[in-house]
């Protein structure tokens, strides 16, 4: 009887330890997937009209139908366009 009780206690401890490890693994996996998602949710890629660098649409500036990566590039592009006109 004592041996059966000891085996039952050992089995219960191992079961709960395994369950705890599984939950920790599942939580770690979900956190890892959540950290990977923001880089994929940047939106559609657009190209800066001045330097031709591609960047997410959410980070870009739009002026007169053109996309720009910064205000500096927007200003340079518009100045050059004025000179041409």
Whether the pLDDT of residue 62 is over 60: the answer is yes
Alpha helices in 1-85 (DSSP H): 2-40, 71-84
70 in the same domain as 48: yes
Q: Which pLDDT belongs to residue 85?
A: 72
pLDDT in tens, 25-44: 999 998 888 776 655 555 79
Whether the pLDDT of residue 51 is over 60: the answer is yes
Whether the pLDDT of residue 13 is over 90: the answer is yes
Q: Which pLDDT belongs to residue 84?
A: 82
What is the domain range of residue 83? 43-85
Q: Within its chain, how far is the Cα of 28 from the centroid?
A: 16
22 in the same domain as 47: no
Whether the pLDDT of residue 1 is over 80: the answer is no
| Dist. CA 8–CA 23, nearest whole Å | 22
């Amino acid at each position: 009887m004592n041996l059966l009780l000891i085996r039952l206690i050992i089995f219960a401890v191992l079961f709960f330890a395994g369950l705890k490890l599984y939950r920790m693994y599942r939580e770690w996996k979900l956190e890892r997937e959540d950290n990977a998602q923001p880089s994929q949710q940047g939106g559609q890629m657009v190209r800066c009209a001045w330097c031709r660098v591609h960047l997410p649409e959410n980070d870009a500036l739009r002026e007169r139908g053109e996309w720009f990566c910064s205000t500096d590039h927007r200003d340079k592009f518009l100045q050059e366009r004025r000179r041409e006109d």
